[in-house]
Amino acid sequence: MTALLAGMVLVLGAACGGSDSDSGDGAGTGGGSGSSAKKESQAVVSISPKDGTDNVATEGALKISASKGKLVTVKVTDSKGTEVEGELSAGDTVWQPKGNLRTQTKYKVNAIAKDKDGLASAKTASFTTVVPANTFIGYFTPENGQTVGVGMPVSINFNRAIKNREAVESGITVTADPPVEVEGHWFGNQRLDFRPEDYWAAGTKVTLSLRLDGVQAEKGVYGKQAKDVSFTVGRRQVSTVDSKTHQMSIERDGKVIKTMPITSGAPSNPTWNGQMVITERLKVTRMNGATVGFTDDDGKGEYDIKDVPHAMRLSNSGTFIHGNYWASAATFGSANVSHGCVGLQDVRGAGNNAMPAAWFFNNSIVGDVVVVKNSEEKTVQPDNGLNGWNLSWDEWTAPQS
């Protein structure tokens, strides 16, 4: 950003210019025949790092200052002409960037100061930032342009453990239109989720801005992402599963639009209680108990169903809401018989759209919320899937060590 504090005062005589090899004390004397010597600006501009420096740190290294005067213009640009946003301090005598510079980037600096008499002095320099040996990136969800349910958080999983979590989080912003407060919460050192206090309002546009290029996760490990991602929140749909009554009600935009019978986890393997977000939709998928710890004495899965229809994931540990064609029709609405999933009546092959599971699948999107209550199980952990809604706002926003 160009810091323009006052109208430019042209230096009498030669143009204001220079490089790091200049003295930095302004244009010289000179003048036509018979004229008196022209005054020089007393302002002196200093630029750190020096002109031509390589391997410059992305934070804390760039500083532009003026003595015997004040800075009136500071312009720092990369090779594409993009300006670096900065701020003045110390009575307009010091300029520093607001954030990190980008790695392996050449920057040009043009700074002008003027003294108390309004005479200007200028200085230019260029330098190149560090080429990192190690980098990190964040894999984010949801995707750019996606339409999601009201429960979808912004979730970022990093490919390296982050030691300097505060610096990395400061390089990420999540904004909403219409505006709402959004805060981040770390789950360990490799996952950072963002959410508002309550579910997003239907129709909200959410933007994730990653400004991680140049941010140090730890000494010698730099981010390399500079990216904006936007997604839209669709209609509000929250479905409530009651394990005791074996019923599920689907509420859309504040109105219950459908109720259907279900089966949930058997007493030996009850379904998690709590608020769970649909993270994946699979029309047909295979479910093998061995992948989630349900094995027999021979180490084989207690079940292996190769064609589970209309499956939607609710947790990383294997909780789905899905179609069930192997239980009798009388089971739904009367008994809990699953290994922890929520089952809806269906047919093999997922080919009958009149079945409850097909209807629910076709009327759900990633980010919709499924709330389970009255189960004999504990509340699902907030990091088991995208289920941070099970933390109160005070817990979500509390300082983290």
Residues known to be catalytic:
322, 341
Concatenated DSSP letters for 7-20? ---PPSSSPP---T
Buried b (16+ CB within 10 A) or exposed e, 92-126: bbbbbbebbbbbbbebebbbbbbbeebbbbbbbbb
Contacts of 81 by beta carbon, 8 Å cutoff, 6+ apart: none
CA–CA distance, 128 with 133 (Å, rounded to integer): 15
Residue 394 three-state SS = helix
Give the other-Cβ count within 10 Å of 376's Cβ: 16
Contacts of 344 by beta carbon, 8 Å cutoff, 6+ apart: 248, 260, 262, 310, 321, 322, 323, 324, 332, 355, 356, 357, 360
CA–CA distance, 274 with 379 (Å, rounded to integer): 5
CA–CA distance, 20 with 255 (Å, rounded to integer): 69
Residue 13, token pair as written in the block: 């005589």
Buried b (16+ CB within 10 A) or exposed e, 280-310: ebbebbebbbeebebeeeeeebeeebeebbb
CA 271-269-283 angle, 5° bins? 55
Residue 157, token pair as written in the block: 């999983």
Residue 353, token pair as written in the block: 């759209």
Is-contact 301 288, C-beta < 8 A? Answer: yes
Concatenated DSSP letters for 139-169? EEES-TT-EE-TT--EEEEESS--S-HHHHH
CA–CA distance, 339 with 291 (Å, rounded to integer): 13
